[in-house]
Amino acid sequence: MTTNTWLHIGLGSFHRAHQAWYLHRLIAQGDTRWHIAAGNIRNDAEHVVAALTAQKGRYVLETVSPEGERAYEEITSIQKLLPWQADLQPLISEGAKPETKVIAFTVTEGGYYLNTSHRLEVANGDLDCDLKGGNKTIYGVITHILEQRMANGAGPLTLLNCDNVRHNGERFHDGLVEFLELSGKQPVIAWLAANATCPNTMVDRITPRPAADLPARIKAQTGIDDKAPVMGETFIQWVVEDTFRDVRPDLEAVGVEMVESVIPYEEAKIRILNASHSCIAWAGTLMGRTFIHESTLTDAIYAVADRYVTEDVIPSLGDNGIDLPTYRDVVLKRFTNPYIEDTNQRVAADGFSKIPAMMTPTMIECYQRDTVPHATAMLPALFFVFMEQWHKGQLPYEYQDGILDANAVHAMFNAEDPVALYAGDKALFGELAQREDFTALLREKIQAVYSLIR
């Protein structure tokens, strides 16, 4: 029997705890028609790739529930490791093979280089390099792959974005087409339209960076000496639009929800799970907590997140076919899982992308309903105070943000009225940046944050 390749670009922890788990379950059920080949665009995890290569792609996934039940499973779906090299030839050649039918990727939210109008950040150095033929970004790499597929007659495929980006398939597709237009590659655009699809997906499983004591726990529980294990929560969800080009794995056989549209799922997830997660991480950091569960179990922080979802998000989303109050309670319960040891630092990252993507739409919709987004405004207020501490060098860890403009943030806090500048930032707040009542609301909520953390 021929086996199809699922090429995964971005061999981080999440891929190994999520997509690789689903494909492993298929193999474990006896369906061996698919395997994963995986590699990275960035040279940032070669020790993991080397360890996985030595283990023939196998590694142990530890999952843990909020009640502390742990389970161990050796994952077998990654069967080919593509070593990193500067020209990314191993990755590109694999993508260009006819047996590669799906190319999926997790390259982080920042890896799409999109501004708030969903256009490419062409001033970005990596993107600029790729527009001149380089391969530092997902667009440059996929372009090289598609060109080789065209040349080899390698046939159609599916490009599957598995990052936490709203309408992730569509955004990637539009970014790629813009990239191809800017590089004058009209024939590739025509080939893409005729031969590839980019389904939207909604992915969910909290996957922290593997804890230092994980290998020892795995050794004790399974006897396996694993140099590249991963851990995640027990909960897992994957909702995928069923628009694959050519063949796909029998994903529904392992619990993937194949749907016509992921939009209701992703809106619920982005606004309820992702936004409140960041809110809890910013608040927790400001209140001296290290881990997400400690922050969520702090009553005052839980109340901010719960009010945000209950008072503003649920009315905004309306009746979308999902039981939103239950979803809220399940999500907040997942955040209290003490065994995951997810850090505020990891979840607090990328605030400058998260506010416009995850929080501003709810505030705009509240105003459209003639209500003031009191509960949601607490989130950007928390981020303001969080960044104020960053500006003063008072954060307890390094803050990571793919689009942080450090000079601009320092200039804002050195100005006479930082709140006015912050509230007037169109990249963060879109049409609300024009409104005096919105500035006043943020002023009030920033004061509320100072009281909360005092």
Cβ–Cβ contacts within 10 Å for residue 265, how many?
23
46 contributes a contact to ligand NAD by CB under 6 A: no
Smallest distance from ligand NAD to CB 227, Å: 16
Q: 27-63: string of b/e by CB count within 10 Å (b at 16+)? A: beeeeeebbbbbbbbeeebeebbebbeebebbbbbbb
Per CB under 6 A, the list member of 57, 66, 110, 229 interacting with ligand NAD is: 110
Residue found by looking up tokens 């800017």 in the block: 182
7 or 381: whose CB is closer to ligand NAD? 7
The site map against ligand NAD for 124-163 (x = CB under 6 A) is -------------xx------------------------x
CA separation for the pair 88, 348 (Å, rounded): 31
Least Å from the CB of residue 114 to ligand NAD: 12
Contact pick of 19, 63, 77, 108 for ligand NAD (by CB under 6 A) = 108
DSSP string, 44-80: S-HHHHHHHHHTTT-EEEEEE-TT--EEEEEE--EEE
- Site for ligand NAD contains 387 (CB under 6 A): no
Render 256-274 in DSSP notation, one character per residue.
-EEES--HHHHHHIIIIII
For residues 104 and 6, is the Cβ–Cβ distance under 8 A? yes
Q: Residue 141 or residue 441: which is nearer to ligand NAD going by CB?
A: 141
Q: Which stretch binds ligand NAD (CB under 6 A): 42-50, 410-418, 432-440, 441-449?
A: 42-50
> Structure tokens of 127?
């993107």
Q: Which is nearer to ligand NAD, 277 or 443 (CB)?
A: 277
CB of 325 to ligand NAD, least distance (A): 23
Location of structure tokens 């169109």: 426
For the chain, the straight-line distance linking the first and the last C-alpha, in angstroms and rounded, comes to 65
The residues in 181-210 that bind ligand NAD, with binding defined as CB under 6 A, are: 203, 206-207
Least spacing, CB of residue 43 vs ligand NAD, in Å: 8
> Which stretch in 105-113, 116-124, 149-157, 375-383 sits in contact with ligand NAD by CB under 6 A?
105-113
| Beta carbon of residue 33, minimum distance to ligand NAD (angstroms, whole number) | 26
Q: Which residue type is seen at 56?
A: K
Q: Cβ closer to ligand NAD: 63 or 439? A: 63
Between 238 and 429, name the residue whose CB sits nearer to ligand NAD: 238
Phi, psi values for residue 291, rounded to 5°: -110, 155
**Which CA distances in Å does 214 have to 64, 209, 226, 229, 346?**
12, 10, 9, 7, 18
CA distance 167 to 261: 10
Closest separation in Å from C-beta 143 to ligand NAD: 14
C-alpha triplet 269, 373, 205: angle, nearest 5°? 15
What φ, ψ does residue 308 adopt, rounded to 5°? Answer: -55, -50
* Helix %, strand %, coil % of the chain (to 5): 50, 15, 35
Q: With contact defined as beta carbons under 8 Å apart, do 328 and 279 qualify? A: no
User: Which of 43/320 has CB closer to ligand NAD?
Assistant: 43
Please state the closest distance from residue 424 (CB atom) to ligand NAD, in A. Answer: 29
Which of 35, 37, 38, 40 binds ligand NAD (CB under 6 A)? It is 40
Half-sphere exposure of 429 (CA within 13 A, CB side): 26
Count residues near ligand NAD (CB under 6 A).
24
Task: Considering the complex, state which of residue 86 and residue 151 has its C-beta at the smaller distance from ligand NAD.
Answer: 86
Which of residues 41, 273, 378, 382 is near ligand NAD by CB under 6 A? 41
Q: Looking at beta carbons only, is 41 or 192 nearer to ligand NAD?
A: 41
- Which residue number has the CB closest to ligand NAD? 12
- Contact between 11 and ligand NAD by CB under 6 A: the answer reads yes
Q: Which residues bind ligand NAD (CB under 6 A)?
A: 10-15, 40-42, 44-45, 106-111, 137-138, 163-164, 203, 206-207
